[in-house]
Structure 1
Amino acid sequence: MIRKMKPTDIDNIMTVWLTANLEAHPFIDSKYWYQNVSAVRNAILQAEVYCFVDNLDQVNGFIGLQGSYIAGLFVTKHYRSQHIGTTLLNIAKEKHQVLTINVYMKNQAAINFYCHNGFNITKHSDIEAEMTWSKIK
C-alpha cells in the first residue's frame, strides 16, 4: 500500500534511506552517508513523502519530493523489482508537470530505471546526471 508519510514513520524511513544508499553507492565512503543522517532526517520531515508499507504498516520504500525535485526514491532490497519504485514515481508524475532528479553516473541501475520511466539526461558531469521527466512532450 502507498500512503503519505506519518510523523512516526521517520525512523523506518531513515533506515531505508541509509541501507539503500550504502547498497547502491559502494563507490562512496560509507562515512558520507552516516555524517548526513541528521540533515537528511530534517529534510525528509520538511518534504512531501509517500511511503510503500507492508501489511504490518512497516515502511519498505519511499519517495521524497521538494516541489518538483525528487530528493530521493528508495525501496528495500526485498521489495525491489516489484514495480514499487515505478508506483511511487507515478504518484509524483500525477502531481507534477515536470520532475527532476540528480543521479550518480556510477549508479547505472538508477539511470536505467529513470530512463525506463521516461526521464532524459538533461545535464551531466563526471559525477552526476540531472535527469528530467516532462508530462508535456
Structure 2
Amino acid sequence: MSDEIKNNIDTIKLEEFPQVVEVWEASVRATHHFLTEQDIQFFKPLIQNEFLHMVELACIRDEKDNIVGFIGVEKEKIEMLFIHPLVRGKGIGQQLMMYAINVLNAKFVDVNEQNEQAVGFYKHMGFDVIGRSERDGMNKPFPLLHMQLSDDKK
C-alpha cells in the first residue's frame, strides 16, 4: 500500500470485492475493538457475498490503484464506510462522505455506538443522533445510533 493517495472517487469492480473485504477487515480490526474474532469471521463472508452487492459503492485508491477506502450507500443511507488504518487521517473518509452526500444523496447512517471515533466523525460531518437500537441489523448485541444529516448540511 502506497502513501500517495489519488484524490478522485472511483468505482469498484466485482473482481475487486476481495480487496474491499481486506480493507474492511483491516479497518474493523483497528476500530471495532468490541468485536471478537468470531464476530469478524461471522461478518466477513456476509460482507463479500451479500452486503457489497446491496449498495452503490465508491472508493479512493492509492497511486498503485489499491483501494484504500470505500463507501456504500443504499436509498439515502450510508451502509458502510471503511478506511484502511495505514491511511487514516488523510481526509479519505471526508472525501467519500462528501461524495455520498452530494452525489448519492445520503442523508442517514447507522453507527456502532461503541465505535466512538466513528460517532465523532459523523457528528463532525453534520449528522445528528435521531435514535438508538440495542441490537444491530443482524440482531447482535451491538447498539446502533441512528443518525441523520442536519438540515443546514443538506
Letter in 1 for 2:47: V
- CA contact 2:100–2:106 (8 Å) conserved in 1: no
Q: TM-score, normalised by structure 2?
A: 0.81
Residue 95 of structure 1 and its aligned partner are, at CA, apart by 2.5
Aligned sequence identity (%) = 25
- What is the RMSD of the two structures over their aligned residues, measured on CA atoms? 1.7
Alignment partner of 1:77 out of 76, 85, 88: 85
**8 Å contact kept, 1:52–1:59:** yes
Q: Distance in 2 between matches of 1:20 and 1:96?
A: 23
Cα deviation for residue 47 of structure 1 reads: 1.6
Structure 2 gaps, min length 5: 1-7, 135-142
Is the contact between residue 73 and residue 104 of structure 2 (CA under 8 Å) also seen in structure 1? no
Aligned residue number for residue 7 of structure 1? 14
Which structure has greater strand proportion? 1
**Who is 1:44 aligned against?**
52
SS at match of 2:19: helix
CA distance 1:46–1:125, change in 2 (3 Å): closer
Aligned runs of 1:1-137 on 2, under 5 Å? 1-41=8-48, 42-125=50-133, 127-134=143-150
After the TM superposition, list the runs of 4 or more consecutive aligned residues in structure 1 that deviate by more than 3 angstroms.
134-137
Q: Distance in 2 between matches of 1:49 and 1:97?
A: 13
How big is each residue's C-alpha offset from its partner over 1:78-111, in whole Å with a ceiling of 9 and x where there is no partner?
2111111000001111134452111111111001
Where 2:107 maps in the other structure, the secondary structure is: strand
SS state at 1:70 partner: strand
2:19 partner letter:
N
The letter of the residue matching 1:124 is R
- CA displacement 1:20-67 (0-9 Å, x = unmatched): 112211112121121122221122023210011111110010001112
User: Matched residues in 2 for 1:123 and 1:82: separation?
Assistant: 30
| Counterpart-to-counterpart distance in 1, 2:106 and 2:71 | 15
